[in-house]
Amino acid sequence: MARKRYSDEDILKLLREIELKHAHQLLCQTDLPMMEVCVASGFASKSNFAHWYRQQYRQMPTQARKLCFTGAAG
């Protein structure tokens, strides 16, 4: 059976998905400041984090946090 070879792009995509899942958990389970969530999840800036978070979850991190804590988006 041949081993599947992964490209660098595949590995980076998987890593980003793991980072975003961790960030989502931090947003919903803690009250850490947004920058601390970014850093703890492997992102160097809030803007980069917000870009990838929105692409993955179709909402901004601040909206997700509000929804997690209040049940109301917007």
In a domain, 44, yes or no: yes
| Range of the structural domain that residue 42 is part of | 11-70
Residue 1 has pLDDT above 80, yes or no: no
* Overall average pLDDT of the 4-27 stretch: 93
Q: For residues 66 and 73, is the Cβ–Cβ distance under 8 A?
A: yes
Q: What is the pLDDT of residues 18-68, one digit of tens each?
A: 999 999 999 999 999 999 999 999 999 999 999 999 999 999 999 999 999
Q: What CATH number has the domain bearing residue 46?
A: 1.10.10.60
- pTM for the full predicted model: 0.83
Quickly state the pLDDT bin for 71 (edges 50, 70, 90).
confident
Residue 6 has pLDDT above 90, yes or no: no
In a domain, 4, yes or no: no
In a domain, 2, yes or no: no
Total domains in the chain come to: 1
CA angle 49, 52, 4 (to 5 degrees): 120
CA angle 67, 74, 43 (to 5 degrees): 65
